[in-house]
């Protein structure tokens, strides 16, 4: 035997309040970004603007070169570059200090810049070929046992013209024509550690 579910028996003398009117449907207001129309001539001369593999202007083009070479290699697709800095401090704790708290910090020197480079190597010919040439070029720089000269407007602003690569990764990437990569590097300076001692010649 089935029992019918009747709301009026549950509510009794109570009456539900009227429901508010539902909002009328309307079209979504989607704003399209449109074509990129940026004027880079304010920052870089027009004849010096580097283009990506897809013929779009690069804001922060990155060029690499071994110190034993003369030609620069422009990464074909503009990578994302992040920079992190730090100061190296010497801390001294004062015993039985009666006023204040904490230790004494002595500024020692500025540490190396940590540079994170993340990007994509791809083939834009539409044949879905693996970007073998560009991957081998990148690996060549990552495995080089020498500092690497770099040219990038953002890095040059910080005085970074040379880096040393510590870590690099080529993770699994979707698509046979694509290969992601990530690089961790540090800024490098040409230190002259060997100094010649000047000898004074006394007049006889």
pLDDT at site 28: 40
Per-residue pLDDT reduced to its tens digit, 153-196: 999 999 999 999 999 999 999 988 999 999 999 999 876 555 56
Q: What is the dihedral of CA 74, 76, 82, 88, to 10 degrees?
A: -30
Which segments of 99-204 are extended strands (E)? 104-110, 114-122, 148-151, 162-169, 178-187
Q: Tell whether pTM > 0.85.
A: no
Lowest mean pLDDT among 70-79, 99-108, 135-144: 99-108
CATH 1.20.58 fits 46-93+104-187, yes or no: no
């Amino acid at each position: 035997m089935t029992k019918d579910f009747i709301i009026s028996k549950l509510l009794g003398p109570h009456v539900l309040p009227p429901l508010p009117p539902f909002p009328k449907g309307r079209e979504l207001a989607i704003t399209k970004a449109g074509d990129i129309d940026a004027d880079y001539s304010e920052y870089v001369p027009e004849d010096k603007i580097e283009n990506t593999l897809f013929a779009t202007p690069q804001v922060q083009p990155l060029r690499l070169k071994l110190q034993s070479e003369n030609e620069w290699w422009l990464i074909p697709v503009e990578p994302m570059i992040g920079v992190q800095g730090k100061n190296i401090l010497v801390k001294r704790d004062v015993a039985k200090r009666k006023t204040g708290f904490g230790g004494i910090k002595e500024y020692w020197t500025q540490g190396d810049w940590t540079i994170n480079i993340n990007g994509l190597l791809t083939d834009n010919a539409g044949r879905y070929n693996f970007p073998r040439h560009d991957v081998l070029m990148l690996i060549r720089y990552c495995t080089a046992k020498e500092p690497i000269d770099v040219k990038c407007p953002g890095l040059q602003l910080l005085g970074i013209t040379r880096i040393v690569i510590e870590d690099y990764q080529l993770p699994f990437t979707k698509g046979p024509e694509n290969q992601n990569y990530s690089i961790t590097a540090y800024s490098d300076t040409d230190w002259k550690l060997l100094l010649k001692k000047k000898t004074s010649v006394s007049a006889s």
